Amino acid sequence: MRYRKALAASLAVTATLAVQLVTATANAAPVTTLHYSSTGAPDYVTQIDQAAANWNAAVTDVRLVKGGTATIVFAETDDGRGSYTNTDGHGHGRIYLDKQQVAEGFAVTRIAAHELGHNLGLPDHYSGPCSELMSGHGPGTSCTNAVPDAAEAAKVQQDWADGFAAGDVRQAE
Ligand SMILES: [Zn+2]
């Protein structure tokens, strides 16, 4: 009898905890984790990690994590055609960092952060100032900013608030 009573009390506590957990989950925006790989760009691992860290410091709805099953894969090119990414704008893509563009003086961390911006759904805005990541090469080699501005961060935060599934209509470009 005592055991049953204790069990009933324990179940009641468990039920209360469960309700609290569900409430906490409902109040917090879901976080999407995107894995990236830098093994294909061995010359720029440090800069790629910094670029990802810059995004992680700016937004909370989506996290860039190195390793695992990567859906964002970095590679190096050396053809002078510029860095670029092929991406669905929803966290899946290949990013190519052009060694000749780096040799011209463009900051690698800024390039990596810019291309990650495309993978997070942002379009180019070459006419923008250096304070914008998505102005890319527009402001020239003197621009080394690798941090999204407030509007860019807000856009990504908003887009990923519900997971930004690939089936959504929103497009990078
Ligand atoms: Zn771009």
Contact between 57 and 150 under an 8 Å Cβ cutoff? The reply is no
Q: Residue 167's pLDDT is what?
A: 53
**CA of 1 relative to ligand 1 center, distance in Å:** 70
pLDDT tens sequence across 65-121: 999 999 999 999 999 999 999 999 999 999 999 999 999 999 999 999 999 999 999
- Which residue is listed with tokens 């935060």? 157
Q: Residue 21's pLDDT is what?
A: 45
* Cα 74 to Cα 95: distance, rounded to the nearest angstrom: 5
Residue 4 structure tokens: 């049953």
User: Global pTM?
Assistant: 0.81
Q: Residue 20's pLDDT is what?
A: 45
Q: Which amino acid is at 14?
A: T
Residue 22 banded pLDDT, cuts 50, 70, 90: very low
The answer to whether 109 is annotated as binding is: yes
**CA of 124 relative to ligand 1 center, distance in Å:** 5
The answer to whether 149 is annotated as binding is: no
Residue 9 banded pLDDT, cuts 50, 70, 90: very low
Of 76, 104, 115, 173, catalytic: 115
**CA of 116 relative to ligand 1 center, distance in Å:** 9
Q: Is 115 a catalytic residue?
A: yes
Return mean pLDDT, the chain.
Answer: 86
Domain edges within the chain: 1-28, 32-162
The answer to whether 124 is annotated as binding is: yes
Q: Which fold has domain 32-162?
A: Collagenase (Catalytic Domain) (3.40.390)
